Each structure stands twice: as structure tokens, then as C-alpha cells.
Structure 1
Amino acid sequence: MNINQELYNMIFKRKSFHLFRNIGNNSISVSDIESIVATYGDFVPLYPNIKTAIQIVPASKTTCKRGQQFCILLYSEKKDNYLQNIGYLGEQLELYLVSQNIGTLWFGIGKTEEPSFRGLDFVIMIAISRIDDEKKFRKDMFKSKRKLTSEIWYGEPIMGITDIVKYAPSACNTQPWIVEHIDSILKVYRYKKQGKRGIMPVDKVSFYNQIDIGIFFCFLDLCLQHKAIPYEVELYTDNGLDEEKTLNAIYKILS
């Protein structure tokens, strides 16, 4: 099932609001919250057999103190690749919020007073606030700090794919992915440079990077579908082991 293509253009607009300052006095309304919850139900999961849910709570109900108005709490069953699935759904959610001029921040270290919801476990949160001016979103995505393309993509680049997917957000900007392009095959790996973890706790690197891979898949699918490139995907179980390269998916380009 294809992702809503209206989200594609939001790739270029989105930014991480690490602090919600000078954003105006417009608030997220009750009807906004209802719309967000309803729209979440329309997003395409990476794994349809994994149950997920969201709950939207005031900022004061979490440990996230970035000036946000609310936090969206994402919950899931704990099954194989549930983290990739949450990243995939959560990024669709983020891009939808951007389309509504709601600023976002994936906040991995946040804790909540609601560790479970509808029998599902809390995974991660997204801090949100209404932004009063579209100009406060990203003006030029290509100026964002990212790895060199040669560090994350091996083989022939694909115009409109390779140059866009590298801008997917990730925990501490670790960009934990490598794509190997051979003939009509794209092999996507979760990548961890041994001995490197940035500022993340060592026991959380794999956890957050699996979510990041799901975010990356969302960008990759949106770009392939935007370019009308037909493809098939075979997903692989990632057990979260501390290895340098872990295969997560093989994309087969059909044209």
C-alpha cells in the first residue's frame, strides 16, 4: 500500500525544533488533537500485524522540557521489528503535522506518566507546538548537516532518491544506515560504526537506531513512489545486536 503522497513535499519543509521559542501564541486545539488521532489511523504500517496507538498529552505530563505545548506518545506491541514499525508510522505522523504547520521534535529520552496505553507499551514521543509562520520551518533542506553521500550509499546513485533519503532525521543525527545498490537491488542495512555512539547511552544506541531505520524506510518509500518507480520489498528481522551492519530490507526495483 502506498503512503499518502501529500506527505512527500513535507520532507523539504520539516525541521527538528530542538527548542520551541519565538513560535507565536497560536495553540493546538482540541479539534486539532482529534484530527491528529483520526489521521494516525490512516497511516500505512511497515508491519500490519503489529498493534500501535498514540496518546496526546500536555507537555507537563512528560519529562520533555523544550517549550512544547503537547507530546504525542507512541505505543506498540513488542514484536520483531516493532521499533522499525514505530519509526515508519511516526515519520508519516511527523510529516502530516508539518503539513498542518505544527512543529515537531522526536524526543527519545523523554519519560511519561503513561507507560502503557490500551495494553501497549510506550516506545517514544514526539514533542509538538503550533507554529505561527511557515517561514520558521526549514528553508533549504540541502544545507542540513548530513554524512557525505558516499558514506551511506554504495553503488550507482538514483536521482531523486539518493540525494533526498539521506536527509531523514535520526537520533543524535547518527544516520545509522547504509544502502548497497547492485543492479536492480537495494540492500538497506542498519549501520553502527564500532566504538562510535555520539551522546547516546550505550545500551540505547540499537534501540533508537532501529526506530531511525523505520524513519529512513518512510523517506525511501515516499521517494520511490513519488518517482513512480515500481519495487518490491523483502523485510528482515533485526534482533538489535551490536554488529556493524545488520540487513533490514532488500528493495527490488522492477523497471
Structure 2
Amino acid sequence: MDYYKMLFKRKSFHLFRGADEISTEEFCQLEGFLKTVKPLDKNIHTDIRIVPESETTCSRGAQYCILFYSEPDGNYLRNIGYIGEQIDLYLASQDIGALWFGIGRPEQAAPSGMDFVIMMAIAKMPAGQFRKDMFKAKRKPLSEIWEGELLPLADIIRFAPSACNTQPWIVVHQGDTLFVYQYKKPGKRGIMPADKVRFYNKIDIGIFLFFLETCLTHDGYAFTDAQDTENAADDTERILVAQYEIHAK
């Protein structure tokens, strides 16, 4: 699975116009792929299920919705983002469009001991509807998401998807270390309710970390990472969430 290549192809399908059926073979392959995804924290129990869109509150013209459940423990939201982005990129490789759908809810109850976290709406889409030029997408300039010596990958990781395109991250490059912060501009939250901003930003950080690690691997860096437990107040501007010690292979 060439995740790096799919960083440039994937996009969010807010409506699934012209969608086709996901074949039985493609569905089985997706189910098989779900068993191979790598968690950010293997100690957090998760469950991923695929149901028809009609069994959720989503109505975007998708065929199915992928439901993400987790025990509400530790950095479980970050973990779901990290897992889910692997699936998002795999789907793009199969010409299956996807949408992280934060406001959706499933009909079925969550598994015992777990919370429903988020869903992803999916449908088979024409290959020509996927992104052709990622750099035309609207994103923050590098000066707002990166501090210190620039690495070539900096211009790629800023295209990681995030709720309402908030892009709640800053990377600080000092020596051989990349410090990753969850960032919230004081007083700014976009169109999301205030109580949901922190929730979705934590998922976004997991998505971003997978983008970052994918780019580090592609660019030939070996790295070790240390994840930090979030315990800062909701109004904290910067929260250190991870740091990566990097060196050329």
C-alpha cells in the first residue's frame, strides 16, 4: 500500500454525485484491509464496522458508512484519527471516495464498554473525480504550521484533512527533533460548536501524525516518536502531543 502516493489523490467527497456500487470483491478487500491497520496505541481497544448509509443519519449519497468505536481511554481520539486516515488513503487507492462525517450518528448501539467516535461515508467514484492537483486546495501557509528549519515534507503535511479545515497543528523543528503541537488560536473556532472543537481537533491530530510519519518514511528518515498525554486546559493555545527524533537512514 503506497500511502504516500495517495496523499496527493485523496479528497473529501461532501456529496457522492455519480457514485457507483462498491463491488462484493471490493467490499471483501476493504474488510480484509481493516484487519491490517496499525493503531497509534495498541493498548486502546477499538471496533470498526461497515453499515449501509441508510442505517445512519448521514444522507450524502454514500453507499456505506464506516463506524469507528473505541473505549474512551487515553488518547483514544488521536488513535482513531491515525487509524482512520490509513483507511481513507486505502479507499482512494481503490477509487472509493470518502468523507469524515463528524455530525453523523449510527442507529445501532455502541459495543459494550466503547463509545461511538466518528463515521466515514464511502462510495465508489469515477477516477476523474479524485484530486488532480493537491496544491490547489486551500490550506494555511507554511509560516502558520511550521517553525524552524524547513524540510521538504512540510509542504505536503499541511494538506492533511481536518474538521472544517481548521488545521489545528504546528510543527517546531529544533536540531534533530520535530515537536508537534495541537494548536488552537485563542477565540477562534470556525463554524463548530465550542464544545466540539477540542473533540474533533484531537481526531485531526491523529490524522496529521499519520501524514507526517508517511512523509518521513518516504523521504528516507528513520524516526522514533514519543506521544504525550493531553492534560492541558481546553483554552491552552499550544499542547505538545508528540515529538519525533529523526535522522537519515
Fold-level similarity (TM above 0.5): yes
Deviation at 1:119, TM superposition (A): 4.4
What are the equivalent positions in structure 2 for 1:75-114 lying under 5 Å apart? 75-114=69-108
Task: Go from structure 1 to structure 2 and tell me whether the alpha carbon gap of 1:253 and 1:34 turns closer, same or farther (over 3 Å shift).
Answer: same
Deviation at 1:67, TM superposition (A): 1.1
For the Cα contact (< 8 Å) 1:80–1:239, is it kept in 2?
no
Aligned to 1:143: 136
1:185-232: CA deviations, max 9, x gaps? 110000000111111111011110000000000000000011120111
1:238 is the counterpart of 2:234: no
Deviates more, 1:35-44 or 1:169-178: 35-44
- Identify which of 8, 21, 25 aligns with 2:17: 21
What is the aligned counterpart of 2:190 among 175, 188, 198? Answer: 198
Aligned residue-pair number? 247
Letter in 2 for 1:33: F
Distance 1:181 1:240 in 2: 22
Supply the distance in 1 between the matched residues of 2:35 and 2:86 (Cα, whole angstroms). Answer: 11
1:165 matched to which residue of 2?
157
Partner of 1:42: 36
In 2, the alpha carbon distance for the partners of 1:97 and 1:118 equals 28
For the residues of structure 2 that align with 1:118 and 1:204, how far apart are their CA atoms?
24
Per-residue deviation, 1:35: 2.0
Q: For the structure 1 residues 57 and 91, does the alpha-carbon distance in structure 2 shift closer, same or farther, using more than 3 Å as the test?
A: same
The residue that corresponds to 1:8 in the other structure is 4
Give the equivalent residue in structure 1 for 2:59.
65
CA distance in 2: counterparts of 1:239 and 1:165, whole angstroms: 25
Over 3 Å counting, the alpha-carbon distance change for 1:240 and 1:103 in structure 2 is farther
Percent identity of equivalent pairs: 55
Given that 1:115 and 1:121 are in contact with CA atoms closer than 8 Å, whether structure 2 keeps it comes out as no
1:241 is displaced (CA, Å) by 3.2
Secondary structure at the aligned position of 2:221 is classed as: coil
How far apart are the structure 2 equivalents of 1:93 and 1:62? 19
1:210 pairs with one of 188, 195, 202: 202
Name stretches of at least 5 consecutive residues in structure 1 with no aligned partner: none
Give the aligned CA root-mean-square deviation in angstroms.
Answer: 1.3
Alpha-carbon distance, 1:240 to partner: 6.6
Task: Kindly state the Cα deviation for residue 107 of structure 1 after the two structures are TM-superposed.
Answer: 0.4
1:130-179 deviations in whole A, cap 9, x for unaligned?
01x211100100010000100010011101x1010000000000000001
Q: Which aligned runs of 4 or more in structure 1 are off by greater than 4 angstroms?
A: none
